[in-house]
Every structure is written in C-alpha cells, then in structure tokens.
Amino acid sequence: MPRYFGTDGVRGVALSELTVQMAETLGRAAVHILGSRLLIGRDTRSSGTQLQAGLIAGITAAGGEALLAGVIPTPAVAYLTRAYAANGGVVISASHNPPEYNGIKFFDAQGFKLDERSEQQFEDALQAQAIAAWEAGEASAISVTGEASVISAPGEACAANTSDYSIYGENLRTVTGAATAVEDLSDASECYIQHATQVFSSQGLDLVGLKIIVDCGHGAAFYTTPEALRRLGAELICLNCDFDGTDINVNSGSTHLEQLQASVLANAADLGFAHDGDADRVIAVDAQGNEVDGDFIEAICAVDLKTQGKLAHNTVVSTVMANFGFVKALREQGIEVALTDVGDSKVLAAMLGGGFTLGGEQSGHLIFLEHNSTGDGLVSALQLLAAMRRSGLALHELSQIMEKYPQEMINVTVSDKLKLSNSERLAAALLAAETELGSEGRVLLRPSGTEPKFRVMVEAHDALLAQRLARQLAELVAAIDSE
C-alpha cells in the first residue's frame, strides 16, 4: 500500500488523490494526536474550502474545536498556533505546486512541523481508512464529495474566513451537535501582520523611500505581505495579488520570476519580492532585474546577524544543494555552514539540535528561529530589508558577498540505487573528480528519495569543467547500473 505522507504532509490532486474523506480522517486523528483545539489556515485554491469542511467534520466529530484563520500564509498558521494557544495547526496548501493540487500539513503546539513519530500516527490513520474501505468492498478509499465551493473575492482581506460547510449540510455546527466547535478568527491576518512588522520596526527601521514590487503568485500572501510593507512606509506595487481559486502559482510567484523582473526594471523599483503559493518562501530581485535566491538572502542575513552579534555559534544551516559559492563566501566571513540532506525538516532538526538560529534552502525557504518556527517568506523579506537599511547598500551591492558557481545537474534513471551507492568504481571516480576540482568546486552524488534516479551534481568555477565532470560521472552511473 502506498505511503500518503511525503516530505511535507499529504499532497496530491485535490478531490481525487487528496479527498474530503481523507481530510475528515486527518481531522479526527489530529484531535487524538495533537489535542482538541486546532487552528486551520489555507491558501487560495478552490478545493481548499471543501478540504477544510472535511477537516472540521473530523475535528468536531472527535470532540475537538476548529479555529478558522481563513486564507493566510503557512508561517502565519505556525505563529498563530502559539498566539491562540492551540494544540496544533493545520495548513491546507500545496505550496508551489499547480492549482489542481492541494495538501494538508500539520504543526504542533509550538508551531513546529511534526516529528516522525507523530507523522507516522497520521499515516497509520490514513492507512486504516484505506484498509477499511477495501474490506468493505469499495473500489477505492478515495471519493470525491460535493461540488466545488466558491472562494472569497479577490482583494478581500479577511473575507476568506467565511467557510462553506455545504457538503456536510446547511449548518455543520448543527450536524455535529457542537454549537461552539467552530470559530472564525476575524483578526488572524491582523495578528500575523502586527507580529511581522513589529519584528522590523522594533529595530528602529522603516521602509520610507523604497519602491518595492511584490508578486504574491495569486496565493495566500495576497493581503498580508503588501499590507505589512505598506505599513512600514514602502511605496508598493502589487503583482498577482488577486485570485480566483484556479490561478495560484500560474506563471507567477517565486517559480516564475519573469514578470517581477520586468516590472522592477519598468518601474525603476529598488527591488522586488516573490512568494510561492503559501508564502513560506521568498525570492528577491534586485534593481537590475537579477534573481537573488535563498542562498544569497541567507548569506546576506548571516553576515548582518554576525555583525550585530546575533548569529548563534557563528553558524548557519543549509542543505547539500546549497551552491558552493554560498559555503565558500560564508567561511571566508568566519561563518560555519552546517549542511543537511534536502528538506526544510532536515534544516530545522539541525538548527534545533545545534542551537542555531538561521537556516535555509536555495529555494527561498528560510527559517529565522528568533521570529518564527518555520520558513516565513514575509519575515525573511523583512530581515533582508533590515540588512539593507543597516548597511546603507542596495540589494545588488549586498549580493556581491558571494559568487554563484556554475552548476551542472544530471538525473540518471537507474534500476538499482543501492548498487550504485555501494560501488567502489563510482567512489573512485568521485574522489578523482574532487581532486581535480580541489578547493574550487564540489561533487554531489546521491540517490533520489522519491524517484528511480541517481543525481549527479558538479559545481566548479569553470562551467565547462563542471559540465565535463558531470557528464563523465553520469555516464559511469549508467554503465554500472546496466551491468
């Protein structure tokens, strides 16, 4: 039987792979695993209201209480879970994925993503549901329930707090028999905005005189990020800050920077920011239209924190996919870089284990533990702006802190990842490539955790050298696999 939980909760095509029935099962399980008081937020996908209704039905049926934050960024759910003293937080979002997908992920009472033990308990609940359906002779444990719900109109800051419970009857509170089991949090967005802006303004800083363009990707930050930047004094231009439930991440946001880059140049803006669908990530664009990814943002903020004496243990955390230029630049600044396997959960675990306060990924998923317990696109943008204000430098100037090394990545489809991982010939070839690169590059060979592929990545100061070594290693991987 396939596993439902992936690297970030349950995710799939909404209402066919990820169903309302599954959401209800997860709601019931959440009460037993996390506690009775649960806070729910969602992004702008049209399927979000139906999945939310399923969660509410499960939570209330199990005797729990659902606090509805409406359409709001994932990091806001993490923060609000603590602020409202909830036992856990639930996010309905598929992050940067296309509109037809959706997902459900959980936070504990402290706003941290679940540990493996708690996640396995949720997995067990879904597996039990699937087994029960199979034993009952149903064709599938997956069923589509109800018609698509209408999401709130574009530009309405908190209108999305009004939920559609129609698939469970005219009044879910009556159906479940729990008159006060569901509460709409009309001040959820305001609470999060005040937290994020206070983090910035408490440093004696403002954004007066800066022209900023923000692309919210038709996603969950459509109100919170623009409003926060305006309150701090920025002149703001919004891109894709409306939504209709079917356009999240479509040719917009942090995975499609072209529109933001063009707008920054056309409007002579100082910089731009782009979020993914649930706004736990941010990518910046400087005044020249250049992309400033998570590696650059983390490096700039690390040096800024070190200058203030606030970088715990003079160490940051990143993943093995961080650009070699990032690692080299920070070590030249006297900052150590702890590298983990891919995934924000791995980054967070290393941060908590080592007592570090800054970690992140090239994708723009950055964790500032002093301010939030998970990746927070708005807080990350504000920390970058704070570094700009303190230094008096433009983003393009600050970005000179590191040189991005050319990277060549080849994914080789293989049949036996274990054989390759244990291959002495491949290990010898890896050593030879590393020797040739010396201190001016690196090689990464790793099996994919989700696909039948073996990943070959080479970074070098010379792009042609990176391409040659990657191609040689990829050919060797394919040859060993076919033997």
> What residues are annotated to the active site?
95
The tokens for 262 are 């063009």
Q: Which CA distances in Å does 138 have to 21, 54, 254?
A: 13, 20, 41
Cβ 38 vs Cβ 87: under 8 Å? yes
287 by Cβ neighbours in 10 Å (0-12 / 13-18 / 19+) ranks as middle
Task: Beginning with the edge strand found earlier in the chain, give each strand of the sheet holding 336-340 in spatial order.
Answer: 336-340, 315-319, 358-360, 366-368
Tell me the C-alpha distance between 74 and 76, whole Å.
5
Question: Helix (H) and strand (E) counts for the chain?
Answer: 16, 19
The tokens for 290 are 């250049």
The tokens for 438 are 């010396």
153 by Cβ neighbours in 10 Å (0-12 / 13-18 / 19+) ranks as exposed
Query: What Rg, from alpha-carbon coordinates, does the chain have?
Result: 23
Q: Which residues contact 204 (CB under 8 A, 6 or more apart)?
A: none
Cβ 220 vs Cβ 73: under 8 Å? yes
Which among 312, 319, 365 has a CA at the least distance from the CA of 342? 319
Cα angle 107, 111, 112 (rounded to 5 degrees) comes to 70
Cβ 107 vs Cβ 88: under 8 Å? yes
